[in-house]
Amino acid sequence: MRLLVGLGNPGARYADNRHNVGFMVIDEIARAARAAPWRRKFQGEVTEATLDGERVLLLKPQTYMNESGRAVSEAQRFYKIALEDIVVFHDELDLAPAKLRVKKGGGNAGHNGLRSITAQCGNEYRRVRLGIGHPGDKKAVHAYVLSDFAKAEQPWVEDLARACADHAGLLARGEDAAFQNKLHIAMADRGWGGKDDKRD
């Protein structure tokens, strides 16, 4: 079994925040896969789906971002899921809006959700970095990630979530490079190609 995790904060007040783009993507994957209704378990909301013949558990931690690792580690232990079979979708300040990168391990770049998962589970899980852009001033980051996507941003957010759902089976099969390539093509086809403003 694979574990696909979307990061965000629970509750209506955070639902449309940039910090919650991981929830948005995992919700779209569940919808597209016609997954069972979400249920409460592992300090989160979970459902199961089959993606390209692979059984996956979808998880949205309900612990608030800073404690995401508690939910992930509970699910991991219960199903005895290998660390490399965990895929975490999260917002990424250091990628331009509508961009995406997949990587395994590495630094957490100050992301509290990733820091918590690393502390609880280890570091060599797979991350799908969902670009939200940077406000330009480090002091503005907290307010920026906890503010809603602007109306003008909604089209690319929806397109990104839909493209992730369309190709999530590649992640379930461990084909990360193919997934990333398909996403780049899909987003370019939808008009979100543009300059790759990447700061790693």
Using an 8 Å Cβ cutoff, are 1 and 81 in contact? yes
Using an 8 Å Cβ cutoff, are 75 and 62 in contact? no
Structure tokens at 33: 């896969």
**Contact residues for 65 (Cβ-Cβ < 8 A; gap 6+):** 7, 8, 9, 19, 112, 113, 116
Secondary structure of 15-47 in HEC code, one letter for each residue: CCEHHHHHHHHHHHHHHHCCCCCCEEECCEEEE
Please give the positions annotated as active site. Answer: 19
Q: How many CA atoms lie within 13 A of 30 on its CB side?
A: 23
Using an 8 Å Cβ cutoff, are 131 and 98 in contact? yes
